[in-house]
Amino acid sequence: MTAKIHEFLEGMKDAGHTTPKKCYLCQPDQNNDTLIKLNNKLFKPYLKEEQILAAIKKMAAEIAEDYKDETPLFVGVLNGAFMFVADFLKAYQHPCQVSFVRLSSYQGLTSTGIVETLLDVQEDMEGKSVIILEDVVDTGRTLKQLVHLFSQTNVKEFKIAALFYKSEIYNGEYAIDYVGLEIPDNFIVGYGLDYNEMGRNLREVYQLNQADMINLVLFGKPGAGKGTQAGFLKEKYNLKHISTGDVFRYNIKNGTELGNLAKSYIDKGDLVPDEVTIDMLKDEVEKNPEASGFIFDGFPRTAAQAEALDNFLESKDMKVNATIALEADDEVLIARLLERGKSSGRSDDQDESKIRNRFDEYNEKTAPLKAYYEKQGKFHSVNGIGDIAEITERLGKVIDALD
């Protein structure tokens, strides 16, 4: 595909047109991989066409061996499986029938969590062996709906064949009978899979390029303006602000599994284990893949938590790009908080001794974190005194200078 694009551009040049300096679809990254741009996202090469076709050929051979004495009905799941079904049928040179069903649970890069049946299977399936051809199995929500559909028919049996299988996030409720390629939980496009209906026609598979993401850890004493600045930064850089306090309150208020688990520790007066907090952050990250990065606020608080965050981000092909501390004189911050306390009603903003205790706790906890990130060359200190716009500009200079 990219070769044809460049061929077209060269033809334009020969005809007297000016060739663009950079093809908007083809951009090399720092590893010299050719990136493609779909809507506002960059994707990098992941699986070549020959790898995909080899996996399909293997699947077809396995199914042919199991159904050599039957005429199975293959049901493709639209829209994503149309290429898979076409190439599978070319490889399956035995008697068979084919039909399609259409389900939907995705918008953009994320699953809505609600699966709709948009096109039902029309054929009489009674007594037939049905094999569902799925492009990708991840959380299992779509699969659950498929099982529900076919459990209401009088088929002889039905099995699941998945070209791509994300085992690390699959809930394991139903067996996957045939697997083409097991892949990690990365967002992929191409070979029938889309991002906002773009990219389905690509013959190879690309994955979302995480290298361009900006992930920040924001530090600051109470009153330093972290919340205010996070609001400006998330708008300017399309970042998602993840406040640990807000995440905890949301999960506990809504009675999520993690919220109930955290509450069980809190009710006993125990500290919530780091792995529970990490799991909450993981959920927030996975719910917002359209973000160009994340601002982590309130986590990590210890070197052990910082290491846990690094490990989690590494598993997603991401990293912390910088930790930024908003620095301000204690007396200035105390005056700010006491003034804020007049309107906020917060008791801990109205008592100077309590404010100083919070500062002491911050200094005690932040010192090892500062050393942890300084060792990685990622710690940055920014003057937090001045007009809000001036402070935002200082933060922007740090972020814009990141590799």
Question: Which residues are annotated as catalytic?
Answer: 226, 301, 340, 346, 358
* Separation between Cα atoms, residue 109 and residue 291, nearest integer Å: 10
DSSP one-letter code for 285: H
* Separation between Cα atoms, residue 314 and residue 184, nearest integer Å: 13
For residue 182, the number of C-alpha atoms closer than 13 Å in the C-beta half-sphere is 7
Q: What share of the chain is helix, strand, coil (3-state, %, to 5)?
A: 40, 25, 35
Phi-psi region of 166 (alpha: psi -120 to 50; beta: other; left: phi over 0): beta
Maximum Cα–Cα distance for the chain, whole Å?
84
Q: Which residues contact 107 (CB under 8 A, 6 or more apart)?
A: none
Angle 388-400/226-237 helices, nearest 10 degrees? 50
Residue/partner pairs of 93-97 with CB below 8 Å, 24 or more apart? 94/64, 94/67, 94/68, 95/71, 96/71, 96/72, 97/71, 97/72, 97/73, 97/123, 97/128
